[in-house]
Chains A and B, each alone.
Chain A
Amino acid sequence: MTSGLQSARPAGRIRRLAEKGRPQVRFRLDGVDCKALSGDTVLTAVLVSAPAVRQSEFGPEKRAGFCLMGACQDCWLWQEDGRRLRACSTLIAEGMQLRTAPPEIWP
């Protein structure tokens, strides 16, 4: 299953205002190569490249996180191996393989 999140333009929603000199980290989102900076949360890293982290299960809208402090549970997304993670409280790591939709065989 491919997500359409990549096609929206401009790609991401986030603007970097400071701390732009950190080393680059590469990861994959829905099979596409993406770049982030070391120290970015997964949420920051994803929203630099895409406007949302997942599709809401209960409505037509997508979701892009809400509280950024681990309380709302809006920003859970998938990894290619089927495990899920909370994007606002996990730091991005080199080589992470993330998905905005569940892997085809899941759970």
Chain B
Amino acid sequence: MTDESGEKVVIVGAGPAGIRAAEVLVQAGIRPVVIDEGLKGGGQIYRRSPEGFTRSPKQLYGSEAHKAVALHSLFDRMVAVGAIDYHPQSSVLSTAGNLLQALTPAGRQDFTYSRLILATGAMDRLAPVPGWQSPGVYSLGATQIALKAQGIALGGQTVLAGSGPLLTLIATQLLKAGANIAAVLDTSSSRNQVSGLPGMLARPTLVLRGILMRSKLGRLYHAGVTLERIETDERGPVAMHWRDARGKSRVASCDVVGLGWHLRAETQLAGLAGCSFDYDESWLQWLPRTDRMGRAGERLYLAGDGLRILGADGAEVTGRLAAIACLADMGWPFPDARPDLRRLERLERFARAMARAFPWPRDIVRAVPDETVVCRCEGVTAGQLRESVVYGGAEANRVKSLARVGMGRCQGRFCQLASVELIAEKAGLKVCDAGRLREQAPVRPLPIGDWVREA
């Protein structure tokens, strides 16, 4: 809706960042458009079950229940009184100029904006493990979504592997819910984890909570492992083969595997909107270039994990900051940003230390055997990728054109970071010089009939 000033603010995403951004704008007297893919507001971290589910917020969100409830009720209130123009189950697929093109339950819909706040969140950061293309191998986040939003385990015997705070958290949640866990395999060494501790003490309660959860996992948890392969049959995983910190070969029987190494920012729309990116040496991924408030360009603001991987609390902070920047740039009265900027500093110190404690497994990725599938979408192997570097050049977009890594349906979301590691290793480059995939619209595939019918 356009107000008398002619400003129309659109927020993409209704997770913690999008909800807090909307709140600040609503309080200032603006009625923003909020476009979100979910059935209900809350985002991934505070995702809600569909109608008819009965578990309490405490059961679903544990120690974070009060934050989830606060955000859900704030959002539902804003929707109920018409303070925001809310479009659920709607995916923004493209943006150019001042136009957003979305697929909504009613078909294709165009939205114009004068200012755009992108709060598109993050997804699991994946590294290829031989056998990971098998059915029954999921992202770590998927195992948590299954439990939270559906009340299910994705198999009878689970191996969770990767690194990051989610690994321990999800293992604890699954155990508590009655799932069988065969092993929790962390590729980060105990030494790495200790090296992150000083910085992580910026949030001592979280550290303590993590240590308590870890202790509940007992002998299921192993640090400093190397993942060798997922043994599979036609139906899916049979066992995870791994080596422990001392190099001893181990096998864990399972019928489902959850894999993930912390998070990767979802930045496709930011890229299409004209944002610049830098390779960040803490988070070891490409992140959008903004000022401290989240300004990414003319009338473009970013917030949440799509800006920096700070987690849910950080998303609330950066959501408010983006909206404050937006108000300031419009020449409207705006709330004091200083308390949130101070919080941001502490949260960022913590998050960078966490990234150091649970790093992306660069060495494991670079050493994957040639026959390992790197691109799950189209089954492109590490060998095919390495070969294309030799004949085609050491750059991510060239490798995409020639070997099709990043060309599949996920549009590089799950292979891009592994791909640049392999390119860099093969060509003796630094990862930041191996290129970043250019994003392409539509940022998700869509049934062509849904698009042309409404055109």
Contacts and interface: CB of A to CB of B under 8 A. Distances in A.
A84 to B, nearest CB: 6
A61 B256 contact: no
B377 A73 contact: yes
Contact of A72 (B236, B373, B413): B413
A85 B93 CA distance: 16
Contacts of B218: none
Interface string A70-87: 111110100000011000
Contact of A71 (B149, B255, B266): B266
Most buried by A among B49, B51, B234, B235: B235
B152 interface: yes
Contact of A67 (B52, B124, B134): B124
Given A14-B152, A22-B52, A62 B445 contact: no
Contacts of B145: 68-69
B50 interface: yes
Contacts, number: 142
Contacts of A17: 147, 151-153, 177-179
A36 to B, nearest CB: 11
A102 interface: no
A69 B142 contact: yes
A61 B378 contact: no
Given A39-B49, A56-B379, A84 B447 contact: yes
Contacts of A14: 146, 152-155
Contacts of B91: 70
A69 B142 CA distance: 7
Contacts of A65: 138, 142
Contacts of B147: 17
B151 A58 contact: no
B135 A63 contact: yes
Contact of A39 (B51, B235, B413): B51
B176 to A, nearest CB: 10
Contact of B177 (A18, A21, A89): A18
Nearest to B145: A68
Provide the main secondary structure of the chain A interface: loop
Interface residues of A, number: 42
Interface in A18-35: 18-23
B444 A40 contact: no
A17 B445 CA distance: 32
Contacts of B205: none
A83 B453 CA distance: 14
A6 interface: no
B19 interface: no
Given A8-B235, A13-B255, A19 B136 contact: no
A74 B123 contact: no
A15 B376 contact: no
Contacts of B37: 70, 89
B142 A39 contact: no
B141 A67 contact: yes
A44 B235 contact: no
Contacts of A52: 135
Given A15-B156, A59-B133, A69 B44 contact: yes
Interface of B: 37, 39, 44, 49-55, 59, 89, 91, 123-124, 133-139, 141-142, 145-147, 149-156, 177-179, 232, 234-236, 255-256, 266, 373, 376-379, 409-410, 413-414, 444-445, 447, 449
Query: 8 nearest interchain CB pairs?
Result: A64-B135, A19-B151, A18-B151, A73-B409, A58-B379, A68-B142, A59-B379, A39-B50
Given A61-B133, A67-B124, A83-B449, 11 more contacts: A8-B235, A17-B151, A17-B178, A44-B150, A64-B236, A65-B142, A68-B142, A68-B145, A71-B410, A72-B377, A74-B410
